[in-house]
Amino acid sequence: MKSAIWIALAAAVFVPAGTASAQQTKRTLSLDEAIAVTLTENPAMKAAAYEERAAMQQRRAAIGLRMPQINVTGAYAYLGKDIGFDFNEMKGPAKEIAGQVLGSGLVPPELIPSIQGLLNPLMNADWFLKVQDRSLGFVGGEVTLPIWMGGKINAANRAAKINERTAAAEGDQTRNALVSELVERYFGLSLAMQVVEVRRQVVEGVRKHLQDAIALEQNGMLAQSELYYVRFKMAEAERELADAQLKMQTVSSALSNTLGQPNDCLPVTAMFLLERIEDLAYWQQLAAARNPLLNQVSLKRQLAEEGVRVQRADFLPQVAAMGGGSFYNYQVAGLVPRWAVGVGVNIKIFDGLNREYKYSAAKQTARRVGELQNKAGRDIAVLVEQLYNQLLNYRNQMVSIDASLAFAEEYLRMKNAAFLEGMSSSTDLIDAELNLAKVRAERLEAAYNYDLGLARLLEAAGISDEFPAYARRADARAILFDQK
């Protein structure tokens, strides 16, 4: 029944009479539906989802640091000259020795011509022994497997996991903030719509009084000053109605921005007030365990500790296994080996105290983040207490406003009866009617502040998703401008 009343009110506020086609463009949206749409369509949530996916891929990339690195390479080179041994300088001495041997008489004269015929081509040849042609190329591969990097790989993997959890915590923070923003704008539009209806009723009431005042003034039964007063109040009521309508349009656009959808939604979930909520200790314990900001600070501290381990790894030796071979050779000398394997060790002895200072800086960073974590914990505890006390204050305000509303309604009834009997002026009746409208608006604003305060308290506690459950509680009392 309340939903039907609220839908009718929404249609009356947003859609003037005789515009049925415009009414069809507006669709009703409950609070649960609005939250679901926001967490799906809002660009901030989409950005947070992309951030989480990026962190997940970075974590997977860090796993690859433990795996062997396999590369396939190819190269072609054209050298300035062939590689080999040049024996041309020995041709002269060899020729002299041969001449001496042939002229020594040890060789029969008839054999000398034939021997010279054999030696001449040899002496005229190029005595350069080529080992490697100047044009060569190859295709091969190499494998590198880290065995021990001083703990850097383990630290990198732990850091990647921490970054993934940090992205998830940032996503939770974005989600909670969006729920609070949605509550602010969803119920803000609900408040604005009802205020518009309150101002419209005031305008209609003052217009009726103005018509009566004009008739009475024409019959000499009302002073002209009172007529001026009624006209002044009429102009004031119309101006306040126009202001309320502009505010409603602004809040409606803001709600559409949060929803990530066009401006075509009407809220149907009424603002509410709870009879009781959990005590302060419950909220503070919940915030200490689930507040996304505290989780992020804790993860930052863990990340800083991993940074200390990374810098400490520079003091330790690094060991890696290596291997490689060629699959195809083009004019590569056979003297070059086709494969090779080995183990490499790197120990840094001195680097100008660079490692020492970086290690010290990493430790100072870890200590700084630890202090920030302590401060953040205290700040969140204070924030939860502040929000909790504000919530109680808004609830107490509602008790006082309900009493004022009952008085304002009875006072208007009395003034209206007195006016009909000629015992009260129209100005008194108008003032009573304006006072009732003022109290109704204050009541709506108090309910709005209560719901917004509850949303922010749930955000600080890290359970913003449970806001609809609080709205559905048995002790949740709907607050409408024409209901107690």
pLDDT one-digit tens code per residue, 373-382: 999 999 999 9
* Cα gap 209→426, rounded to integer Å: 7
Pick the CATH number of 2-14+25-68+158-314+352-479 from 1.25.40.80, 1.20.1600.10, 1.20.1090.10, 3.80.30.20: 1.20.1600.10
**Sign of the C-alpha dihedral computed for residues 236, 402, 245 and 8 taken in this order:** negative
Share of the chain above pLDDT 90, in %: 57
Write down the pLDDT at residue 431.
87
Nearest one of 378, 381, 400 to 389, comparing CA atoms? 381
Query: Counting beta carbons within 10 angstroms of the beta carbon of residue 51, is it exposed (0 to 12), middle (13 to 18) or buried (19 or more)?
Result: middle
- Give the integer Cα–Cα distance in Å for 18 and 16: 6
Identify the weakest region by mean pLDDT among 164-168, 354-358, 451-455. 354-358
- Reading the block at residue 16, the tokens are 């003037």
Round to the nearest angstrom and report the end-to-end CA distance of the chain: 15
Instruction: Write the single-letter amino acid at 140.
Output: G
Q: What is the pLDDT of residue 90?
A: 83
Is 463 within 8 Å of 286 (Cβ atoms)?
yes
Question: What's the rounded mean pLDDT across residues 246-269?
Answer: 88
User: Which one is predicted more confidently, 125 or 362?
Assistant: 362
Cross-strand bridge partners of residue 170: none
- Helix and strand numbers (H, E) in the chain are 13, 10
Q: What is the band of 350 on the pLDDT scale with cuts at 50, 70, 90?
A: confident
| Strand spans (E) along 385-471 | none
Q: Which of 9-18, 43-52, 170-179, 469-478 has the lowest mean pLDDT?
A: 9-18
- Does residue 320 register a pLDDT over 50? yes
Higher-confidence position of 40 and 336: 40
> What's the CA gap between 183 and 172, in Å, rounded?
17
Residue 10: what pLDDT?
54
Which of 66, 51, 67 lies closest to 157, judged by CA?
Answer: 66
- Which of 11-20, 49-58, 67-76, 346-355 bottoms out in mean pLDDT, i.e. has the lowest? 11-20
Q: What is the pLDDT of residue 18?
A: 40
pLDDT, one tens digit per residue, over 177-229 is: 999 999 999 999 999 999 999 999 999 988 888 887 788 778 777 777 878 88
Domain ranges of the chain: 2-14+25-68+158-314+352-479
